[in-house]
């Protein structure tokens, strides 16, 4: 095993079997992710993106093959593997500050400095005493990011974290996420539907195809940092991936509702 790979996936197959139906969500996935990198996973609905991310995060078990994160076979979630869900998943009855405190390990529970530091990092210092219902969707998702980061994860897994946000908030949060990535040097994997987002954020873009879920292609974007959304390189990388998709979508559409 290469030393600098934080994630190593070999021959990963995942079948959901509820007794009546069985769905092959992932088939023979091979993926290596190096420490400190930013990877995007993109693909149509139902191609197993979430399933793969959840397996890496230890939220999904009973898979075939090897999934090794940080040198250990994954079989349960942990603070090391930060997970950002599509919904912010803040506890509605706790204030912003208490939500973060709730997530912290025992020895850090009283560490107000830590909480303040990460709230400041996502620009929400003034909202420490707000309840989740008082926050906008974007703010709540930033708190969720602060909560994950305060637990000092080795790797941060994001499952369509900005999917429910408006375009402007989304771009702002993408910028923030990139800054955090540079500053904290955490390995990040983001699952998204959005080609621009995938290309802009990911150094590697993993393109997946459905039925069964497989990795079709892995692109290197080489946009460098800071990135440009308007540069030639961005457009080129994006176009390649667009083509990849629209070849794919010539297959008659079936709507997944």
Partner 1 sequence: MEEKNKKGIGYLLLYITLPVIILIVWEGFNQAGELKPYTMPSLAKLFETTVEYANNGQLFENISVSVLLVLEGFFLALATALIIGMLVSLFPKFDIFTDLVIQILKPIPPIAWIPLAILWFGIGQESKIFIIFIGAVFPIFLNTVDGVKTIDKKYFELAKVYEIPRSQLIKNIVIPGALPSIMTGIRVGLGNAWVSVVAAEMIGATKGVGYMLSNGRSLSRPDIVILGMLLVGIFGKIMDDILKFLRRKVITWL
Interface with ligand ATP (CB under 6 A): 16, 23, 25, 43, 45-51, 193, 213
Burial of 23 per CB tally in 10 Å (0-12, 13-18, 19+): middle
Neighbours of 231 (CB within 10 A): 12
Residue 178, binding choice from Mg ion, partner 1, ligand ATP, none, Cβ under 5 to 8 Å by partner class: none
CA–CA gap between residue 67 and residue 73 (Å, rounded): 6
CA–CA gap between residue 200 and residue 186 (Å, rounded): 17
Q: Is 21 in the site for partner 1 (CB under 8 A)?
A: no
Site track 36-75 with Mg ion (rule: CB under 5 A), x = hit: --------------x-------------------------
The encoded tokens of residue 109 equal 């529970």
Residue closer to ligand ATP, measured from CB, 59 or 156: 59
CB of 50 to Mg ion, least distance (A): 3
Residue closer to partner 1, measured from CB, 63 or 200: 63
SS3 239: helix
Please state the φ and ψ torsions of residue 140, each to the nearest 5 degrees.
-60, -40
Q: Is 50 in the site for partner 1 (CB under 8 A)?
A: no
Binding-site ranges for partner 1 (CB under 8 A): 57, 59, 76-79, 81-83, 85, 87, 89, 91-94, 102-105, 131-133, 151
């Amino acid at each position: 095993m290469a030393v600098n790979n934080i994630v190593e996936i070999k021959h990963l197959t995942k079948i959901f079997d509820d007794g009546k139906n069985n769905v092959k969500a992932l088939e023979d996935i091979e993926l290596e992710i190096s420490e400190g990198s930013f990877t995007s996973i993109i693909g149509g609905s139902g191609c197993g993106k979430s399933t793969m991310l959840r397996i890496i995060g230890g939220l999904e078990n009973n898979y075939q093959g090897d999934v090794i994160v940080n040198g250990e076979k994954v079989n349960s979630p942990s603070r090391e593997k930060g997970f950002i869900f599509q919904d912010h998943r803040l506890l509605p009855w706790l204030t912003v500050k208490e939500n973060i405190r709730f997530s912290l390990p025992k020895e850090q529970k009283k560490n107000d400095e830590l909480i303040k530091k990460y709230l400041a990092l996502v620009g929400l210092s003034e909202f420490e005493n707000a309840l989740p219902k008082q926050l906008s969707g974007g703010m709540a998702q930033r708190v969720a990011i602060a909560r994950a980061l305060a637990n000092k994860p080795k790797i941060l897994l994001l499952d369509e974290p900005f999917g429910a946000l408006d375009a402007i908030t989304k771009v702002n949060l993408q910028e923030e996420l990139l800054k955090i990535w540079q500053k904290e040097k955490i390995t990040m994997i983001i699952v998204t539907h959005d080609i621009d987002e995938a290309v802009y954020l990911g150094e590697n873009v993993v393109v997946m195809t459905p039925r069964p879920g497989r990795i079709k292609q892995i692109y290197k974007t080489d946009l460098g940092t800071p990135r440009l959304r308007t540069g030639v390189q961005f457009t080129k990388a994006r176009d390649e991936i667009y083509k990849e998709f629209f070849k794919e979508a010539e297959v008659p559409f079936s709507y997944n509702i």
